[in-house]
Structure 1
Amino acid sequence: MAVSKKLLALAGSWQGINRLWLDPSKPAQESAGTAVFQPVAQNKFATLNYTWAYKNQSQAGLLLFGQEGEQVDAAWVDSWHMQHAMMHCTGEIQSDGGITVLGSYAAPPGPDWGWRLTIQPLSDAQFKFIMHNITPEGEAMLAVEAIYSRQP
């Protein structure tokens, strides 16, 4: 297991804007955000630690992932989105060198919903972290888009 060179190039500290959509038909709620991308365990895994805010309250999250060939395994936590649970995700490497992973969460009394996380490298100086909420019927709705630029 090893992290791709394209993602390893993201190692470092980042700052950006986090956009949250609670209702896809309404404007996003924006907040400043930070991220630290760090290879771990001899570049076999990587972490993306990030911060953002909701209603002026600080929030934080962590994505830990590694890849075996084209398959990616990940664990995701977020102080607002996941509260006290950890989401286990699987996915694949994208053609742009990024990753996309998919997990699910309980939504009682109905069926589980899906959650898709994507890290999309834009350049050595910028990347996107995107989250989609997925209905039980398979409809994906943009929930979060964070665009980060490398800190000097």
Structure 2
Amino acid sequence: MTIIDYLTPALGSWQGSNGMRLRPTDDYERSEASAEVQIAARNFIAIDYTWSTEGQAQDGLLLISDAPEPAAAKAVWADSWHSSESWMEFRGGLADGQLVLEASYPAPPGPDWGWQIRIDPGTGDGPRITMHNLMPEHPAYQVVELVLKR
């Protein structure tokens, strides 16, 4: 199965909610969210989404394609709040019934931290996208939960 085939149930326009927190002990800040999931340039899935924090509109774009290995994916991601002016490059694949993508980012003065995006396309009822911080020597924790419906 290609990554595009796997994500096909998520194609379309969606509305829902976004929850975000900075630390694992923080409460989630909830906001309305929307997403457009479409096939782009024939070989990519583009997820264009909006949300807000502290009353300011935010948006992001995730562009996903198949990688050469079976059931593997690569992606680039930018988000107006999380990634600033840089793309993050991800690799991953299907695991535990989800598409799991991982990247790393500098966290001076220590070692790099990781960022993980998990996508469950649903069965036509709406995708769920979560994002997790991967800190060295600590358990991963969920930072973002984007739940979408028609």
Q: CA deviation at 1:41?
A: 2.2
Q: CA deviation at 1:80?
A: 0.4
* 1:1-152 map, 5 Å: 2-42=2-42, 44-68=43-67, 69-96=70-97, 98-137=98-137, 139-150=139-150
AA in 2 matched with 1:85:
S
Aligned residues: 148
**DSSP 3-state at the match of 2:121:** strand
AA in 2 matched with 1:83:
S
AA in 2 matched with 1:71:
A
AA in 2 matched with 1:81:
H
Find the aligned partners of 1:87 and 1:145 in 2 and give their Cα distance: 19
Task: Extract unaligned runs of 5+ from structure 2.
Answer: none
Note the alpha carbon deviations across 1:108-143, whole angstroms, 9 max, x for none: 111110000011122202110100000022520110
Find the aligned partners of 1:55 and 1:95 in 2 and give their Cα distance: 33
CA root-mean-square deviation: 1.6
Q: Which runs of 4+ in 1 moved over 2 A?
A: 1-6
Greater mean deviation of Cα atoms: 5-14 or 28-37: 5-14
Normalised by the length of structure 2, the TM-score is 0.92
Native 8 Å contact 1:77 1:87 kept in 2? yes
AA in 1 matched with 2:90:
C
Find the aligned partners of 1:3 and 1:121 in 2 and give their Cα distance: 11
Find the aligned partners of 1:127 and 1:86 in 2 and give their Cα distance: 23
Q: CA deviation at 1:4?
A: 3.4
AA in 2 matched with 1:146:
L
Task: Extract unaligned runs of 5+ from structure 1.
Answer: none
Find the aligned partners of 1:48 and 1:4 in 2 and give their Cα distance: 12
AA in 1 matched with 2:32:
A
AA in 2 matched with 1:48:
I
Native 8 Å contact 1:2 1:45 kept in 2? no
Normalised by the length of structure 1, the TM-score is 0.90
AA in 1 matched with 2:85:
H
Native 8 Å contact 2:4 2:65 kept in 1? no
Q: Alpha carbons of 1:88 and 1:138: their partners in 2 closer, same or farther (altered >3 Å)? A: farther
Q: Percent identity?
A: 36
